[in-house]
Amino acid sequence: MKILLLGSGGREHALARSLAADPSVSELHAAPGNPGIGRLATLHSLDPSSPAVVVEAAQRLGVDLVVIGPEAPLVAGVADALREAGIDAFGPGREAAVLEGSKAFAKDVMRAAGVPTADARVCETAEQAAAALDEFGAPYVVKNDALAAGKGVVVTDDREAALAHAASCGRVVIEDYLDGPEVSLFAICDGERALPLLPAQDYKRVGDGDAGPNTGGMGAYSPLAWADPGLTDQIMDEVIAPTLAEMRRRGTPFIGLLYAGLALTSKGLRVVEFNVRFGDPETQAVLALLETPLAGVLRAAARGELDSVGELDWREGAAVVVVSAAAGYPGTPAAAGAIVLPDDEDDAYVLHAGTRLDGGLLVAAGGRVLGTVGRGADVEEARARAYGILSRVEYADGFHRSDIGVPH
Ligand code: GLY
């Protein structure tokens, strides 16, 4: 099978690693990719969010499947254009991608599907925002209605900061704060059926102990030894299945990765948000444990044939990924810091997230720069291996959290 993978982050490096290890994959292409992905795939410098450009490349390369990593190409309709051209695509069409593209739309789908989520108000003016903040009280949860690269959500006790975020966004969703631990569950969907991956937990705040502003994610681990063993089935029954049914009823079946971000509150589980693509960095931990060859599963989903795939097989144990970010992140990150990486090991390796080659030398090129992955018999061993290899990474301009893998 020939595959084109779209995207350039740590999530895509993890996807490329799994796809390259699948014996059914004869050629792996990536666009635009990064230097880590470039060791596994042929890189193509093209705009992954341009439907016409991606269709032309997929035809020229003769690929059997296009795997779409980030949300921007999905929202731009890249999956629709590929399907119209008769090319299998793993990722939802533009209308289904609105589940991530608009928080207000996602709330509407959840209401119609009976999926438990926080009570919310959609606000377009400062007056509406102020009224909603006062209705729900602190801590205030203000979400940009539109895509904001993981930085659209502000959770704060400071009413002025909440109002300022609402004013900077335009249309926002203000909602009730959900207590309890957060969980990410990914489901591979074929429009009708869904297969769950292992649940994971990510660390959204920039600093140890969940201090500081939200980021795209500073680390993750999987699975969740502390969670009820029935949690995945419960999420599939109460969240994923009714959402897929509602999307089908609306004539926009969901094909691709449905990511449910959930809070396990004192009143039961609640959806915090949906995303329509693999989560970053949870994917780096989850795929480290997947034993079933990935390409066949994604292709079956893209073709509406998930019934041909059995349950997924997983390694025993746990995986942890620790993100190294450039100083300044999630504000303006320090650019072009030099990086020297240790060799990968079986159970400890480095994924590239925002890197580039500069005259043959590896340098930082983004906010989140690297993800170091450790695997082990349990989360403690996985954590020790992830931090162990990270201690051998030379990246003076970078920083990382030191508490990834400690449940929170
Ligand atoms: N882990 C957060 C995200 O992928 O949006």
70 pocket-lining for ligand 1 (C-beta < 6 Å)? no
The answer to whether the CB of 282 is under 6 A from ligand 1 is yes
pLDDT digits (tens, 9 = 90+) for 375-401: 999 999 999 999 999 999 999 999 999
User: In testing the pocket of ligand 1, which one of 221, 275, 286, 368 has its CB within 8 Å of the most ligand atoms?
Assistant: 275
Cβ–ligand 1 distance for 9 under 6 Å, the answer no
**Each residue's pLDDT tens digit, 236-271:** 999 999 999 999 999 999 999 999 999 999 889 999
- Output the residue whose Cα is nearest ligand 1's atom 4: 279
- Choose one of 258, 262, 282, 286 to mutate for the ligand 1 pocket test, by most ligand atoms within 8 angstroms of C-beta: 282
User: Is the confidence at residue 149, as pLDDT, over 70?
Assistant: no
For 334-345, how does the pLDDT look when each residue is reduced to its tens digit (9 = 90+)?
988 999 999 999
Q: How far is the CA of 107 from the centre of ligand 1 (A)?
A: 18
Residue 203 CA to ligand 1 center (angstroms) comes to: 9
How many A from CA of 217 to the centre of ligand 1?
A: 6
The answer to whether residue 5 scores a pLDDT higher than 70 is yes
Residue 216 CA: nearest ligand 1 atom is 2
Question: Mean pLDDT for the chain?
Answer: 96
Confidence tier at 150 by pLDDT (50, 70, 90)? low
- Per-residue model confidence (pLDDT) at position 270: 96
pLDDT band at 408 (very low <50, low <70, confident <90, very high): confident
Burial class (CB in 10 A: 0-12, 13-18, 19+), 182: middle
Ligand 1 within 6 A of CB of 145: no
| pLDDT of 1 above 70 | yes
For residue 5, the CA-to-ligand 1 centroid distance in Å is 19
Neighbouring CB atoms inside 10 A of 134's CB total: 11
Does the Cβ of 217 fall within 6 Å of ligand 1? yes
Q: Output the pLDDT for position 267.
A: 87
Distance CA 57, CA 49 (A): 12
> Taking 70 as the threshold, does the pLDDT of residue 24 lie above it?
yes
Cβ(280) to ligand 1 under 6 A? yes
Q: Ligand 1 within 6 A of 100 CB?
A: no
User: What's the CA gap between 104 and 122, in Å, rounded?
Assistant: 7
Question: Looking at residue 146, what is its pLDDT?
Answer: 82
Output the CA 196–ligand 1 centroid distance in Å.
17
281 alpha carbon to ligand 1 midpoint, in Å?
7
Question: Tens digits of per-residue pLDDT, 105-148?
Answer: 999 999 999 999 998 999 999 999 999 999 999 999 999 988 76
Mutate to test the pocket of ligand 1, among 183, 259, 323 (most ligand atoms within 8 A of CB): 259
Give the Å distance between the CA of 279 and the centre of ligand 1.
Answer: 4
**pLDDT score recorded for residue 147:** 75
Q: What is the pLDDT of residues 321-331, one digit of tens each?
A: 999 999 999 99
Say whether pLDDT at 47 is over 80: yes
Instruction: Return all residues near 224 (Cβ < 8 A) that are at least 6 apart.
Output: 183, 199, 200, 201, 231, 407
Please give the number of the atom of ligand 1 that sits closest to the Cα of 202: 1
Ligand 1 centroid distance, CA of 263 (Å): 14
Dihedral sign (CA 269, 271, 275, 276): positive
pLDDT in tens, 195-233: 999 999 999 999 999 999 889 999 999 999 999 999 999
The pick from 214, 280, 401, 408 for probing ligand 1's pocket by mutation, whose C-beta has the most ligand atoms within 8 angstroms, reads: 280
What share of the chain has pLDDT > 70, as a percent? 99
Is 202 touching ligand 1 by the criterion CB < 6 Å?
A: yes
pLDDT tens, 263-316? Answer: 999 889 999 999 999 999 999 999 999 999 999 999 999 999 999 999 999 999
